[in-house]
Amino acid sequence: MTHHHLDATVDTAIDVLTAERRPVLTVEPGDTVTVRTLSAAGYTERQPGPGRKAPTLIDPRRGHCLVGPIAVAGAQPGAVLAVRFDTLVPDDWGYTGSGGVDTPVNRALGLTDPASRGPLLWDIDPAAGTAVNQLGLGVRTAPFLGVVGLPPESAGEHSTIPPREAGGGNVDCRELVAGSTLSLPVTVPDALLFVGDGHAAQGDGEVSGTAVECGMTTTMTLSLLDAAPVAGVHADTPAGRITFGFDQDLNTATAIALDRMVDWIASLHGIGRAEALAMASVAVSMRVTQVANRTWGVHALLPHDAILQADALR
C-alpha cells in the first residue's frame, strides 16, 4: 500500500463538490493519504483579532475550502467507500463565529443584528488537547473533519453546505475523531472524495453555525467495501456505531437515522425489527448532529457496550 501526501494549494483546493473536476490525486483501495486542509474559510494566515479578516486561498468563496477530489481507483456506484481516520492534528489557532447573521437560530435568539456578533479567537495546543480563547475560557479538543463527502451526482457543481443522503459531505459529527471509520455509499465512478472544514472542538448541534474552525492535518486510509452492514451514511467510532439522517424536516431526519440503526441492531443480534426498536429505546441515543446547514442532521449512537449478551452481565 502507498502513503500519499496532499496540501491545500490553488491547484488542490475547491469550494464546491463536483465530479467534473480532474482528480488532484488517484489512490488504490487500501492506500493512506495525509492531507493538510485549511479552515472552512480558507484562511492562509492567522486572523489578527477575533472576527477580523485575513487572507484566504479562494476569493470570493462559495462554500467550504476543501481539498479534492481524491479518486479511488475502481470505485463504482453500489460500492461503499470506507474512510478510516488514523490521525487528526489541528493547527495551533482557530476561530468561532456567532451572531450577526440572519439564520433561524439567530432569529430565535435575537442575535441577527451585526452588532450582536460575538466571535472567538482560539489558541490551540494540539499536544495538550486544549484550546483557549481571548475571554480566558478553554475547552478540551476532539479534532475531526466537518466535511467528508462525495459529489451527489455526476454532473454540475454542488454546494458544500448542506449534508446529503447521497454522498454525505458537511456531516459535522463530533464523534468522527481518530479511530473512526466513516462509510459513504459511492455515488460516482472513482468515488471522488472531498475533505476539509477542520474542527478542533464542537458540541452536538454546532449551534452558532461554527465550531473551533481550524486547519487540520489528517491521515486517513481509504478502502472499498462490496457491502455494508446498513444502508446510507454510517460510521464505526470509538464512541459506538452511528447511523445518520439528513433532511429539511427534523422528524424525517430522525426517522431515517433511527430506521437504519434498527436495521443494524436487528442484524447484529439476529432479532426482528420490532425487538430491535425496543432495544434501541433503551440503548441508543438520538442526537442532533447540526442545526446550521439548511438541512437537519441527526445521528443515532449505539455505544459498543450498550447491548450485551446476558452471560456477560453475570
Residues 185-242 have pLDDT tens digits of 999 999 999 999 999 999 999 999 999 999 999 999 999 998 899 999 999 999 999 9
What pLDDT score does 53 carry?
A: 93
Q: pLDDT value at position 294?
A: 80
The owner of cell 455494508 is: 228
Question: What pLDDT shows up at residue 103?
Answer: 87
Bridge partners for 200 per DSSP? none
Q: For 138-157, write each residue's pLDDT tens digit.
A: 999 999 999 999 999 989 99
Q: Judge if pTM exceeds 0.85.
A: yes
Kindly tell me if the per-residue pLDDT of 314 is higher than 80.
no
pLDDT at residue 309, rounded to an integer: 83
pLDDT at 182: 98
Question: What is the predicted pLDDT for the residue at 214?
Answer: 98
C-alpha cell at 79: 460500492
| Helix, coil or strand: residue 102 | coil
Q: What is the mean pLDDT of residues 155-174?
A: 96
pLDDT tens-digit map of 51-100: 999 999 999 999 999 999 999 999 999 999 999 999 999 999 999 999 98
- Whether cis (ω within 30° of 0) applies to the bond prior to 60 is yes
Torsion sign over Cα 199, 203, 206, 211? negative
Q: What pLDDT is recorded for position 307?
A: 93
φ/ψ of residue 37, rounded to 5: -115, 150
d(CA 182, CA 199): 16
Q: What is the pLDDT of residue 104?
A: 87
- Burial of 46-76, coded b for 16+ CB within 10 Å and e otherwise, reads ebeebeeeeebbbeeeebbbbbbbbbbeebe
Q: In this structure, are residues 160 and 13 in contact, taking their beta carbons and an 8 Å threshold?
A: no
Region 10-28 average pLDDT: 98
Nearest to 98 by CA among 214, 266, 211, 21: 211
**255-302: per-residue pLDDT in tens?**
999 999 999 999 999 999 999 999 999 999 999 999 877 899 999 999
* Res. 136: pLDDT tops 80: yes
Asked whether residue 313 carries a pLDDT value surpassing 80, the answer given is: no
Say if CB 265 and CB 258 are below 8 A apart.
Answer: no
Per-residue pLDDT at 1 exceeds 90: no
Q: Is the peptide bond prior to 69 cis by the omega test (within 30 degrees of 0)?
A: yes
Q: Is the pLDDT of residue 312 over 90?
A: no
Domains of the chain: 3-225 (2.60.120.580), 234-313 (3.10.28.20)
pLDDT of residue 288: 96
Question: With 80 as the cut, is the pLDDT of residue 108 above it?
Answer: yes
Q: Where do we find the cell 467550504?
A: 64
- What pLDDT shows up at residue 50? 96
